[in-house]
Structure 1
Amino acid sequence: MKSNYPYYLGLILVSIIWGANFGISRWAMEVFTAEVFVFLRFGLAIPLLFMLLYKLEGSIMVEKRDILKFAVIGFFGVTILELLVMYSIKYTTLANASLLNVAPWPIFAALFAPLFTKEKLTRKVVVGGAIAFVGVALIITGGDEGVDLSSQYMLGNMLALSISLIGAIYNLACMPLMKKYSALKVTTWFIFFGTAFLFPFTFNGWSDVAWSNLSFPIWIAIFYNVILCTLVAFIVWNFSMNKVGATKANFYRYVVPAAAAIAGAMFFNEPIMFAQILGAIIIMSGLLLIGFEKRKVLENKIK
């Protein structure tokens, strides 16, 4: 039986890339509005995705009856999700946003997985996920900024929690399409539609960009977001998720806050507390337990 460990490593790598981007993107936020920068991230990746798709598969086309599915997934998975991330941070603390838009995501994925896939939730995945959840909580609450769930942050907290719900469902919605198309084709088309829907939100931000004054770190941030965070990360994540199952794959998002804490220490001299180190160890323990579980699906075949 072929080992799934390379796919788990792919999920960990993508989570590290996304986690580090919390720090790297700060450079770009000094020049771009959040809406413009997110549009650049996905918009510049689109032609590269289509060229890669044509090069590897010889065709970029999908069936007409699936176009609406890609459009809906793109609208919620890119447009709405990215806007929610921006506004959740605006209306609540970073610690609150980090906890609520990361920690519940895999739980929602596990709960709604039967609606989209034939995966079964096993005891080992539940235990491993619970252990990893504790590690995430330690990383986020163990930093300088604690979690504050008071009423003044209610709007932002609800937005952050909705990110987990929408993100989990959008991930699961990709699974049936990846039975028919490659992970690359699914990724390319939903990013295309999601970016198109995002464009109107950028209208007020372009005039404020001083293109001639873009520094080297900002170009690095753009390159990192386009090539690594979008082109590489989305393809690797969707491909790996399709191989190991959406339920288990989404628990590997718990690596994101650990990578974000390390990036903050490397680029902005933010301190790493003992609780955060302990949390990272606990996360990896939980994920290792999940990785040892073989993928189980319902045996009934769909004809």
Structure 2
Amino acid sequence: MKNKNYKAHLALLGANTIYGGNFLIAKGLMPNYLQPSALVLLRVAGAGLLFWVVKLFVKEKIEKKDVLLLAFCGLFGVSANMLFFFYGLSLTSPIDASIIMTSTPVIVLILSALILKEKITRNKYIGIFIGGIGAVILILYGKTGEGTSSVIGNLFVFFNATSYGLYLVLVKPLMKKYKALTVISWIFMFGLVFTIPFGIGDLSTTDFSTFTTGAYLAIAYVVIGTTFLTYLFNIYALNYVSPSVNGSYIYLQPVVSFTMVSVLAYFFDNTIYAQDISMVKILSCILVITGVYLISRKKSLSFKRL
């Protein structure tokens, strides 16, 4: 079991490192090449196909009573999650998006307490409060921030984090009952059904003749890396760790995002992204990560009387 826990943590590390690069890579595709809904449809259809191809080697049926829960997981974990994220990312800074996404563990903790009846300790209450302050500061800062910040975009990314947090909680019972590949394949099938009405129009009007090699490579990164591998890694990890532990790894994403934006800004003289780095965002990031750290601690903080 210890070896499997080790592999689960490696899977979470890999997933969130890959996803950290997605903020900048995916933003480069929108709206120059694709509208957000068209990119989401390509992402869901492409990754879903890969999951079902692999599932051909896994013979497992699902019970009829679990179909509705799988559908909800497809709605919140794939369709709503991705649509909110890509629309939000197209409107705001990659750094803002990556920091706001780190509020997911806070959301997971609250939803786990409501749905799975997980106990919230004093330590976790403090973490929720501190992390919440950081997220609120950053969302409101989108009104006045320079660079590519946007309050609407930031709100969409927060809705994305909420949707994904709900998905992590809802999918946990299914992971105890079925194999990871079975669950994720059905989730993406339902996710595709919910996504088609939103993305088919924009995808049909996309001019693929304008796509460069770099654009196709970026799409491949989003479909294979950010979607197929990260979802597979995350759902594998849920077999061995709790939803709150899974969500806590998300704090790696702003580190990767900050690094990539900094490289563009200071080594490639990208003036737009240079304005995305500010003390307010760094402070917000520190607050959110501190909150996540407190939430993920196994032992509560002890306060000595003076």
Q: Where do 1:204-223 residues align within 5 Å? A: 204-223=201-220
Letter paired with 2:53: M
* Residue number in structure 1 paired with 2:37: 35
Deviation at 1:172, TM superposition (A): 0.3
Letter paired with 1:67: V
Structure 2, gaps ≥5 residues long:
300-306
Q: Calculate the TM-score normalised by the size of structure 2.
A: 0.75
Distance 2:50 2:291 in 1: 36
Letter paired with 2:65: R
* Change over 3 Å in CA distance of 1:158–1:146 after alignment to 2: closer
CA offsets 1:157-211 (integer angstroms, 9 cap, x no match): 5544333332211110000111101222211111111112111112331343222
Letter paired with 2:26: S
Say if 1:96 and 1:149, in contact at 8 Å, map to a contact too: no
Say if 1:36 and 1:205, in contact at 8 Å, map to a contact too: yes
- Asked if residue 197 in structure 1 is aligned to residue 198 in structure 2, the reply is no
CA offsets 1:127-161 (integer angstroms, 9 cap, x no match): 777788899899x69xxx954489xx776555443
Deviation at 1:250, TM superposition (A): 0.9
Deviation at 1:221, TM superposition (A): 1.0
Letter paired with 2:188: I
* Residue number in structure 1 paired with 2:112: 113
* Change over 3 Å in CA distance of 1:20–1:126 after alignment to 2: farther
Say if 1:101 and 1:162, in contact at 8 Å, map to a contact too: no
* Residue number in structure 2 paired with 1:225: 222
* Residue number in structure 1 paired with 2:23: 22
Deviation at 1:236, TM superposition (A): 0.6
Say if 2:70 and 2:190, in contact at 8 Å, map to a contact too: yes
Letter paired with 2:40: V
Say if 1:132 and 1:254, in contact at 8 Å, map to a contact too: no
* Change over 3 Å in CA distance of 1:54–1:266 after alignment to 2: farther
Distance 1:236 1:89 in 2: 23
In structure 1, which of residues 248, 257, 277 is the aligned counterpart of residue 245 of structure 2?
248
- Asked if residue 54 in structure 1 is aligned to residue 56 in structure 2, the reply is yes
* Change over 3 Å in CA distance of 1:99–1:15 after alignment to 2: closer
* Residue number in structure 1 paired with 2:2: 2
Say if 1:53 and 1:184, in contact at 8 Å, map to a contact too: yes
Letter paired with 1:69: L
Say if 1:124 and 1:293, in contact at 8 Å, map to a contact too: no
CA offsets 1:45-75 (integer angstroms, 9 cap, x no match): 11210121222x234x322221121112211
The alignment yields a C-alpha RMSD, in angstroms, of 3.8
Distance 1:95 1:26 in 2: 7
* Change over 3 Å in CA distance of 1:250–1:288 after alignment to 2: same
CA offsets 1:81-124 (integer angstroms, 9 cap, x no match): 2222244456x743796278424321121112134436444566
Give % identity: 27
SS at match of 1:244: coil
* Change over 3 Å in CA distance of 1:176–1:6 after alignment to 2: same
How many residues align? The count is 285
Structure 1, gaps ≥5 residues long:
295-303
* Residue number in structure 1 paired with 2:298: 293
* Change over 3 Å in CA distance of 1:241–1:129 after alignment to 2: farther
